[in-house]
A and B are shown apart, each in its own frame.
Chain A
Amino acid sequence: MKILVTVKRVTDYEAKLQIDSSGTGVKLDGVNMIANPFDEIAVEEALRLVEKHGGEVCVLSIGSGEATTQLRAAMAMGADRGILIKAADKLDGVSISKIITQIAQEEKPDILLMGKQSIDDDSQQIAQMVAERLGFGQATQANKVVIEGEWAMVVREADGGLETLSVKLPCVITSDLRLNEPRYASLPGIMKAKKKPLDERELASLGLDLKASLSILKLELPPKKQAGEILPDVATLVSKLREVEKVI
């Protein structure tokens, strides 16, 4: 079984972010960068599936050369090799989905495993777009994956409960929070990762015609809410809610 997993380099979820001078990006100086947490869960799931069924895990990232850090980290967890598509500019979701599709067509994985969303863009659209381009079935927001022959049985976190789907391989699966707990890389794992193959390619070498269908005009910090009032007792709270706010 071959599993391709995407790993995006994102700002740390605890970072205090500021808008840069262009007004369309965030300042990255001094901001800690991490692998998108959902992608780490996807890497972990891929490793578990391959430990059970045999095969190979390949990790893919698109972005600056610095994303090799996140790819090496995934390889330290146990992924076999990495691919980095070097792209200087910020790309929109549709373009990213075209790049991933092209790599998937070259690599021909049985499963393309991706995080359900990246914690920076929060768009939650790329995996589904890739599935459609490839003509694959999909199971998004997975909280359990079991391989049964030519099918993947996936329990997914749907609205109002848990939905179970069976998806024919090859397919696209996206990880939700509770799919697993990613392992920590071991020291031997980290040493081994340094020697694992990492194929760095320029975006232009893919020969794709990428035209942005979405652009960011402006980023802004939402207005800061005034910190609230600390009340002395429960009685005061009840009267505020009833008489001032009229919500009870």
Chain B
Amino acid sequence: MSAIHLIIAEHDGTHFKKSSLSALAAAQKIPGACHGLVLGKNIKSMADAFAKHVPQVHMAEHDGLEHRLAQPYAKVIADVAKSIGATHVWAAATAAGKDVMPRVAVRLDAGMASDIQAVIDDKTYKRPMWAGDITGTVQLHSPVQVITVRPTEFAPVETQVQGQVSAVKADPGVNNTRFIGFEAVKSERPELADATIVVSGGRGCKSPEGFKQLIEPLADQLRAAIGASRAVCDAGWVPNDWQVGQTGKVVAPKLYIAVGISGAIQHVAGMKGSKVIVAINKDPEAPIFQVADYGLVGDVFTIVPELVQRLKAL
């Protein structure tokens, strides 16, 4: 039996997120038909854009879906999955995907594999466990499966198709949740999760001012996103949203530069997939050097400004 995939296109109201194309890439590892689903209000342009990659895109438009609330979203996703006879329902393992998809699994009486990093066959997946210290191979036994995908492990699909968009009748059902507001962390920089270069700072930057003074010029020079260790997020030096780690963002840029970060397991879990890792730390015994490709041991307040100067001179 060939699979019928339903891939949820997450969006910000203007564009669908690139991570949804990573979910599509994972789905395509299992032969079958691919359907997309876009939910919200005024979403036609995003449905059209997603249809450039997926042959059949369903558009669930409803006032009750204006904000991405787990309860109504899960119902509509499950309704569409049933109507097309989906065998696999996919989303990126973003905060949004993690919020909604387990509810979808219950509605479909499905087993669920979270945050997968590899597809083995049509019901077997690899996923990081214990903060990535252990890789688990898991198998789902239910007729319908729900899977969330770690975006950094699957290159977004670039292949173009001429897909069809069709409106579906959406019934959001009961909703016990009201959207009050969203306070975006504003940044001129690339998004942490998508950036090709990430510069992260830790406690070795000494203070919020030290963090700014060291990390910003280096990130500016490299056009990099800024990340941070849990310690400095907890201390309130930088927004929580910048945290890289098991419980923060998982990143896998081409280049990751860790400045004054010791390299606790939970931080390493969020960045060890990076192609090249550079660590700058005064403590030669810091565990970060175990995962780094290149290390510089010394005072970050001397090394980082010199690095910026040398990059400028290139």
- Docked Cα-Cα span, A11 to B233, in Å, equals 25
Binary A-proximity of B100-135 (CB < 8 A = 1, otherwise 0): 111101110011111100000000100111111111
Asked if B1 CB lies within 8 Å of chain A CBs, one says: no
Asked if A117 CB lies within 8 Å of chain B CBs, one says: yes
Binary B-proximity of A61-84 (CB < 8 A = 1, otherwise 0): 000000000000000000000000
Binary A-proximity of B206-247 (CB < 8 A = 1, otherwise 0): 000000000000000010000000100110000011000011
Asked if A209 CB lies within 8 Å of chain B CBs, one says: no
Question: B130 contacts A11, CB within 8 Å?
Answer: yes
Question: B130 contacts A119, CB within 8 Å?
Answer: yes
- Docked Cα-Cα span, A244 to B306, in Å, equals 20
- Docked Cα-Cα span, A14 to B102, in Å, equals 29
Give the shortest distance, in Å, between A112 (CB) and chain B (any CB).
Answer: 13
- Docked Cα-Cα span, A140 to B89, in Å, equals 21
> Which residues in window 152-186 of B have CB below 8 A to A?
174-185
- Docked Cα-Cα span, A49 to B245, in Å, equals 29
Question: B197 contacts A247, CB within 8 Å?
Answer: yes
Give the shortest distance, in Å, between B199 (CB) and chain A (any CB).
Answer: 12
- Docked Cα-Cα span, A194 to B134, in Å, equals 36
- Which of A94, A120, A218 meets B130, CB within 8 Å? A120
- Docked Cα-Cα span, A133 to B303, in Å, equals 55
B-chain residues with CB within 8 Å of residue A136 when the two chains form the complex: 176
Asked if B137 CB lies within 8 Å of chain A CBs, one says: yes
Asked if A47 CB lies within 8 Å of chain B CBs, one says: no
B-chain residues with CB within 8 Å of residue A164 when the two chains form the complex: 179-183
A-chain residues with CB within 8 Å of residue B114 when the two chains form the complex: 122-125
B-chain residues with CB within 8 Å of residue A14 when the two chains form the complex: 265
- Docked Cα-Cα span, A124 to B95, in Å, equals 10
B-chain residues with CB within 8 Å of residue A140 when the two chains form the complex: 70, 95, 98-99
- Docked Cα-Cα span, A245 to B140, in Å, equals 39
A-chain residues with CB within 8 Å of residue B233 when the two chains form the complex: 178
- Which of A128, A158, A176, A220 meets B103, CB within 8 Å? A128
Question: A122 contacts B128, CB within 8 Å?
Answer: yes
Counting chain A CB atoms within 10 Å of each CB, which of B95, B142, B180, B241 scores highest? B95
Binary A-proximity of B284-314 (CB < 8 A = 1, otherwise 0): 1000011111111100000100110011001
Cβ-closest 10 pairs across A and B: A213-B111, A137-B176, A128-B102, A125-B102, A132-B103, A164-B180, A137-B177, A132-B106, A161-B184, A168-B176
- A residues near B (Cβ < 8 Å) are 11, 13-14, 17, 19, 26, 92-94, 97, 116-117, 119-129, 131-133, 135-141, 143, 151, 153, 157-168, 171, 176-178, 211-222, 225, 227-231, 233-235, 237-238, 240-242, 245, 247-248
Could you write out 16 A-B pairs with CB less than 8 Å apart?
Answer: A14-B265, A17-B130, A97-B102, A117-B247, A125-B98, A129-B103, A141-B95, A158-B96, A164-B183, A178-B240, A212-B141, A218-B136, A220-B135, A228-B292, A229-B295, A248-B314
